[in-house]
Amino acid sequence: MDEDLISYSPLIKLGDICNIKKKSDSFDLVVCGWTLEFVTNINKAVNEIKRVTKPRGIIAIGGMHHPKNYYSTKNNIRKKNYDRKWHASIENIFKLFGISHKDCLFKSEINVKDKDTRGEVVVIFKNKKG
């Protein structure tokens, strides 16, 4: 998709992930990176992503895993726990999109021994619609 809420590039159109101004089944590929954590109506955003993605089209979701104790440390004093409406994890992405490990084309998850550190989470899967 070529939309974002804030951009300095003339190639990016500003838009709202909860109200995407595109027809259903418009895209073969939708990439949503490091965005869902800040969306106030995450279910609506997920439904919009699925709506604009063609049946069996590819959806890529990326986010930052933040351990529960992250905000109580000096790692990021500027951020508060309430800044993030949702926390990225493989399990949370699966739950939101109604998918499982077998549905994934690619996933990069936090190692169990690293659950107490920050890290990137990425899941790529086919849209189950259709």
Residue 52 belongs to some domain of the structure:
yes
Total domains in the chain come to: 1
Residue 102 belongs to some domain of the structure:
yes
In the predicted model, is pLDDT for residue 1 greater than 50?
no
Could you tell me what percent of the chain has a pLDDT over 70?
Answer: 69
Residue 10 belongs to some domain of the structure:
no
Residue 38 belongs to some domain of the structure:
yes
Residue 8 belongs to some domain of the structure:
no
CATH code where residue 84 lies: 3.40.50.150
Q: Residue 51 sits in which domain range?
A: 20-126
pLDDT (tens digit per residue) in 12-62 = 778 899 999 999 999 999 999 888 888 889 999 999 999 999 999 999 999
Tell me how far apart the alpha carbons of residues 96 and 35 are, in angstroms, rounded to a whole number. Answer: 14
Residue 1 belongs to some domain of the structure:
no
| pTM: predicted TM-score of the whole model, two decimal places | 0.79
